[in-house]
Amino acid sequence: MKLGIQINEGPYTHEASVSALNYVKAAVAAGHEIFRVFFYHDGVNNGTRYTTPPQDDVNIVNSWSQLAKDHKIDLVVCVAAAQRRGIVDEGEQKRNRKDGNNIADGFRISGLGQLIEAAIQCDRLITFGD
Amino acid sequence: MSDIKKFMYVNRRAPYGTVYAWESLEVVLIGAAFDQLVSLAFVDDGVYQIVKGQDTTQLGIKNFSPTYSALGDYGITNIYVEKESLEKRGLTLDDLIPLTYEDENDNYAEKDSIKVVTASELAKVLEEQEVLLNF
């Protein structure tokens, strides 16, 4: 099955991101296709490489980056939600004249249309969050 | 992408307090460009999102409620409001922003977009959908 994933909450405060990670790993292992993971609302905070949890804690951001690398998964951070919350890639840095960027490996910033496209293209859109 | 799916946006939360209502509306407006069959539902505290006369000056938060009136122009004409949610909050249809659209198949007559439905009627509508976006 072709699956789209929407994540609405940031890492650590809410279990949504870790649940989604586990779900995506299980879905890939079971032979399903992950068309895209779309990060919305505070979910965009999963996409900053500046996240530095204590060493004995899980690094959720790195886990997503690794998963994207291992299985070529498209991780998309919503641009409108990202701008509000200070998640910046090189393009956004130039466009909004910021003094740096913080997007993590394997993530890209794009528009809400990517969520709608995923909903259209996929057999199921699975949402993680309240 | 020629596929046309039935999209339903379910709005369950109060308009301010959290960002979900506003960011839901942003998805709805962007999504309208994709020519899908779109419906909105307002349930639980979500019904407060379309209450008339919202004033956020004391909150220091942007009042985005005028944007709902533009939904008709975006071709979004199926708006379901759960009857029980209104009743529990002492609200009636008269308390809501009059959301309308111009029916191009009926000489552009202005028509109401809002349908007040019971929970069980709404359940049937939800069952017909192919994509549910929950906010």
Q: What is the ipTM of this complex?
A: 0.91
Q: Would you place residue B3 in the very low, low, confident or very high pLDDT band (cuts 50, 70, 90)?
A: confident
* Structural domain boundaries, residue B104: 6-134
Predicted confidence (pLDDT) per residue in A81-98, tens digit: 999 999 999 999 999 999
Predicted confidence (pLDDT) per residue in A40-91, tens digit: 999 999 999 999 999 999 999 999 999 999 999 999 999 999 999 999 999 9
Check if the beta carbon of residue A10 is closer than 8 Å to that of residue A17. yes
Would you state the pLDDT for residue B2?
Answer: 52
Query: Is A116 an interface residue toward B (CB < 8 Å)?
Result: yes
Contact A112 B131 (CB under 8 A): no
Whether B17 maps to a domain, the answer reads: yes
Chain B interface with A: residues with Cβ < 8 Å: 1, 3, 5, 7, 19-20, 23, 26-27, 30-31, 33-34, 36, 131-134
Tally of domains in chain B: 1
Contact B26 A112 (CB under 8 A): yes
* Structural domain boundaries, residue A109: 2-128
E strands of B6-105, at which residues?
6-11, 37-42, 78-82, 100-103
- CATH number of the domain where residue B14 is located: 3.40.1260.10
- CATH number of the domain where residue A119 is located: 3.40.1260.10
Whether B87 maps to a domain, the answer reads: yes
**Is the pLDDT reported for residue B8 higher than 90?**
yes
Q: How many other C-beta atoms are found inside a 10 Å radius of the C-beta of residue A1?
A: 11
Buried b (16+ CB within 10 A) or exposed e, B57-72: eeeeeeebbeebeebb
Whether B26 maps to a domain, the answer reads: yes
Please give the positions of A annotated as active site: 78
Check if the beta carbon of residue B10 is closer than 8 Å to that of residue B41. yes
